[in-house]
Structure 1
């Protein structure tokens, strides 16, 4: 049996390191101790400088009373303090510090330099410390009243502690959180915290700021704007009172903020109080929401034991259950009073689940958008140039308010008709219980190409029709279920950049920090199909008129047979046989799709098409595609199956509305005819205008992007990537 080991006293250096490890666990603990000393010294401004999370440099500068030169030799010795003389003084202690261990502990695990000046001295004194001892004599230097404590190479001799710490950015976040909490509670004391080498402050709080301004500086305007005052008057017989700020029931924050509790101005954690207040909130808030709580509890000093925890993060006090119950009761009364008016905000407008086709039916878009929640302002963050979105998807260009110089007086008259309807969504029609009709005059250019001459809007009263067809509801649900949430979010918050290739129908859009190349032909096809589903049986109308000015002829409608004759002759078949099912379904086509046919009672070959559906106000489909649209309606629709029939017609209407491809030419090529060059430039300019002012705004508001559109969207660049290559943008 081996002999028992001898008991020996530990070396003083070992004792000091062990004690230091209990008190200084991380850089934030060292800062907390020094910051409390500054407040005890009556400082009104406290400036903090941090390098590598406080491990390399942690400096605090204050304008307090300073340290007398005669006290410098024992400043970093253990159990030396100016705030406590006898043990009984703990029962009435009003200062943060009282043990005299903080600076001593720091000096055993870091290199400490102190520069201080009192108002009675002519100069400041600078001296360094190591292992609790002063290194040499204080040196006189120029300086202002107050104290500067510089801590370098924290934990340089405790490698195990150094390795256990998290990244410098995490340690900096802890420091900012600690400084922010003291800043909220320290009336008439200004705080600033800056990362070494940076010109901007990570946190700054003015000394004259009130409590709400301090909360705003630390946690952001979204938090500060949702606060109510909580006052607990002195509780009879318990010697306690409380005051602070708590969040209203409208407050929603994705990141939970742990409660800020001060007891007799000491930052502490008090789990019983936290649980009681959270329990009070739980009966008012939705599950998962956490409130913001700042509370300063004042208790008679003789009822509080402050010497409980090495880092002073906990205290004990008498009558704790009764005091906590009274505070929770007062909070319940305050919340009950403000519960009469609440707003429920589930998420921000940019991540809101898009309104489904079924949900959007019968509601104006202005009403839908206005009912969406607004993004709460988050915590104040540092501006990062390589992640800065310089173009807001909600902003408007000044060119949107300018009229084209080529408008004629007749066109301006049309603008006056459109003026009361600023919403370019067809839902604006529903809001006024009116349906929009468009009348077009057309001149024949070639057998296959028709171009608009003039247009005007007229308004007719029409109540919105509620559609309960099972087939239509099934198609709407199918569109909802096929939605890709991420892609829909991209389209909902896009910024139109410009037309890239009018022949291949390519355009560029920006979302957040990314630039995308999109096939607007495919996107428009899906958009107009969904618009057709949403406004089924509630379309406006485009009235077609055949006009020959030279002959003085003006006829309503266009001959279906004449329109498709060229296509039918090239592919074979009988015009009459093709038109027959169309004529038989004319009532359904007019009721559901605003496609009005007439003139075929005696001979179907005489059938004329009088109107087409108007899907979006301000955009007329390319009617040069009308012959092919009619031919596909006649040959590709399954008239025997209701769902296939309705879906097929909606698909063909969507294809009609897809912008035409414009064949590219080189405007600088001298071999090109002037007329062709002018027409190309005009067509391109018009396409750019339609995309920017009509189609893409509609895409933002109404498109539920299906998964199939993923292949039509390609990311071509992103801002952080460009910064890595060019180092600027």
Structure 2
């Protein structure tokens, strides 16, 4: 290469180094913190929990891209702090670098709201308990901005409750590349639900709810004051809860004072199998990830679960703050801590010991190999059309073969036969069916239902009344019609058809509310308690404003019933109110709403405070009045008395919960004369078989949530059983 050629490849001149504009710096930093709507929600949830909130409500539109609103009842933000609220590195959690070693809060860098304000339209409504009104402020690029042109950017006084409402609109409106990558709003909404689910399990004392904008029913709703297993059951279903195991693990006694740790683990036994591992890890109450810890725990199950099956694990690890470095990831997704190997090994050993102790043998409630999903089936008209097409094809084959007449019908094999039919005449149908709860009447003693110290009402025979049609009431309320439309929209076609045409097989477990029903050649295990709750909710909505009355004679006092329920509850640590104050507050609410309760729900409370009647949702079915005090107590905190739609829905849900089958009180001497099985159990089984399931067949519009919670599970299919027997 010549000298001239070398000079042709001279390196380019160095470009000047410039200082980036502050707006560009902030937008780059915001992209590191806020990846998607779920990450913005995570930051806001942590702020609400740091503020001591006991109720957190989330509203989402278009997967959080159009709207993401979070409301809490925490301590609020002072008006004087609002001007710098959305500036970078403004925080109430730190004052010096040494505070990082004593950190117990979720947030500390003060970048969440600042980052959001650079990529979305941010508004805040907040009120502290000491201020007389709330204040509203709007932010853009970390600074206060006026809500309207010509107005000042200062926070404006407004009406509001104690706490904070943060509203994010048009997320990533100024980052089109990021926005175009997040067009799948349903996926983003699923991520939001996942974040709320995890924080709800870790904070069972806090009430969480999440719903789409414009929807009356939340997708997630947890009550305050729950326990961790209860919350796991509400969010992940009964299948997980019944197989959950618990372990409390602590550091060894010889551990240094600043390296101590403790852990709480909830994990499933060998009887639970999922397609994908569900692993929830919180370290010092932060939702984090640890691939090493996850793989170590998954390895414990390889020897006890079938190939491809995975467990559910929730682990809360608390480590001395000096042993944890929280400042290693912009979104706090990861943390570093000392003695990671030792802690992982001790946790795995403890979990393995409990698994070995509790799972010496595996039990099977149903054959999972035969379990099939209930998918949407073709409609009846489609089946008829396809049947006619098959007949025409058969006729064409006959003509082509030159045969003068059709061939004889195909043989129906044993595994294709339906063993029972609704059209078959049974021996029982030729005799009147008597409710076992009426046997005491036949013996000459008056049969009444009794609540805790409260006389009840005679139980009405259900032989003739169960065939009466329950018509839909004529109601012009927009909220009621909206709730009725939701039922139709959420109807699962195949499941509804199964329940409409099922054959009742029998009750498997009365205490666990399990029964067997048959449809066609398939056998299903159903939770009749969950089905009954949905049925009674729909019956209450169907008869809204025109319900029959269940008279209580004598009428018990409302205040005394509430006192019975409150005295049985453990309220210490859950509320600052005393038990008499709780009773007074609930009594005041119900007494003030007695006219509305009478008009809409046929629940009569006299001017002297006596409960004179209850709504009768299904003739021939009497609810267990032992649950009446608990039902009245729950109406206070569990019903949303502010919003009309939510008020009607939550009241009907509580009423349906009250109507779930439960054992009836009876005289033990009569039971001994009849059989070893008590009259109460006979009466309950009779009501389930002869009243509840026929009503489900007639009125229940089955939603898909019954399948999601495993309340209806296919346990056997006759053709598949024949295949198994043929291999034997």
Which residue, out of 163, 171, 176, partners 2:188? 171
Per the alignment, residue 272 of structure 2 pairs with: 251
Per the alignment, residue 78 of structure 2 pairs with: 68
Which residue, out of 313, 335, 338, partners 1:293? 313
Structure 1 residues 346 and 396: CA distance shift in structure 2, 3 A = closer
Aligned-partner Cα distance in 2 for 1:704–1:80: 65
Matched, 1:97 2:107: yes
Which residue, out of 150, 164, 171, partners 1:147? 164
Q: Deviations over 1:583-640 (max 9, x none)?
A: xxxxxxxxxxxxxxxxxxxxxxxxxxxxxxxxxxxxxxxxxxxxxxxxxxxxxxxxxx
Which residue, out of 497, 507, 510, partners 1:391? 497
Structure 1 residues 133 and 286: CA distance shift in structure 2, 3 A = same
TM-score (structure 1 length as normaliser): 0.51
How big is the shift at 1:272? 1.1
Q: Deviations over 1:163-206 (max 9, x none)?
A: 11251110000000000000000142110001111111000111
Which residue, out of 36, 39, 42, partners 1:26? 36
Aligned-partner Cα distance in 2 for 1:245–1:229: 5
Counterpart mapping for 1:414-425 below 5 A: none
Per the alignment, residue 50 of structure 2 pairs with: 40
Give the conservation status (yes or no) of the 8 Å contact 1:202–1:382: no
How big is the shift at 1:111? 0.1
Matched, 1:197 2:182: no
Aligned-partner Cα distance in 1 for 2:132–2:286: 34
How big is the shift at 1:299? 0.5
Which residue, out of 11, 19, 33, partners 1:9? 19
Which residue, out of 149, 155, 168, partners 1:138? 155
Q: Deviations over 1:337-376 (max 9, x none)?
A: 0112422566265429xxxx9999xxx99xxxxxxxxxxx
Counterpart mapping for 1:477-556 below 5 A: 491-492=521-522
SS of the residue 1:231 aligns to:
strand
CA RMSD, 1 decimal: 3.3
Give the conservation status (yes or no) of the 8 Å contact 1:350–1:493: no
Per the alignment, residue 264 of structure 1 pairs with: 284
Structure 2, unmatched stretches of 5+, are: 1-9, 146-152, 374-411, 421-485, 507-515, 525-715, 724-728
Aligned-partner Cα distance in 2 for 1:155–1:283: 47
Structure 1 residues 11 and 233: CA distance shift in structure 2, 3 A = same
Aligned-partner Cα distance in 2 for 1:257–1:166: 27
How big is the shift at 1:134? 0.6
Aligned-partner Cα distance in 2 for 1:51–1:702: 46
Which residue, out of 233, 240, 246, partners 2:261? 240
Give the conservation status (yes or no) of the 8 Å contact 2:40–2:116: yes
Q: Which has the larger radius of gyration?
A: 1
Give the conservation status (yes or no) of the 8 Å contact 2:38–2:195: yes
How big is the shift at 1:45? 0.2
Structure 1 residues 397 and 146: CA distance shift in structure 2, 3 A = same
How big is the shift at 1:493? 6.8
Aligned-partner Cα distance in 2 for 1:257–1:207: 27
Higher relative contact order (CA 8 A, sep 6+): 2
Which moved further from structure 2: 283-292 or 105-114?
A: 283-292
Give the conservation status (yes or no) of the 8 Å contact 2:104–2:321: yes
How big is the shift at 1:491? 4.9
Structure 1 residues 703 and 160: CA distance shift in structure 2, 3 A = closer
Structure 1 residues 358 and 90: CA distance shift in structure 2, 3 A = farther
Aligned-partner Cα distance in 2 for 1:23–1:275: 27
Aligned-partner Cα distance in 1 for 2:52–2:93: 13
Give the conservation status (yes or no) of the 8 Å contact 2:205–2:225: yes
Per the alignment, residue 466 of structure 1 pairs with: none
Aligned-partner Cα distance in 2 for 1:61–1:161: 26
How big is the shift at 1:119? 0.2
Q: Deviations over 1:55-96 (max 9, x none)?
A: 000000000000000000000000000001111110110000
How big is the shift at 1:235? 3.0
SS of the residue 2:192 aligns to:
helix
Which residue, out of 324, 327, 339, partners 2:344? 324
Aligned-partner Cα distance in 2 for 1:83–1:705: 63
Structure 1 residues 275 and 121: CA distance shift in structure 2, 3 A = same
Give the conservation status (yes or no) of the 8 Å contact 2:204–2:231: no
Higher strand share: 1
User: What is the aligned residue count?
Assistant: 394
Which residue, out of 277, 281, 286, partners 2:301? 281
Aligned-partner Cα distance in 2 for 1:245–1:358: 49
Per the alignment, residue 481 of structure 2 pairs with: none
Structure 1, unmatched stretches of 5+, are: 366-380, 402-422, 426-488, 495-699, 708-729
TM-score (structure 2 length as normaliser): 0.51
How big is the shift at 1:391? 2.9
Give the conservation status (yes or no) of the 8 Å contact 1:156–1:162: yes
Which residue, out of 181, 203, 211, partners 1:186? 203
Give the conservation status (yes or no) of the 8 Å contact 2:523–2:717: no
Aligned-partner Cα distance in 1 for 2:187–2:487: 15
Aligned-partner Cα distance in 2 for 1:202–1:210: 20
Aligned-partner Cα distance in 1 for 2:106–2:72: 16
Per the alignment, residue 512 of structure 2 pairs with: none
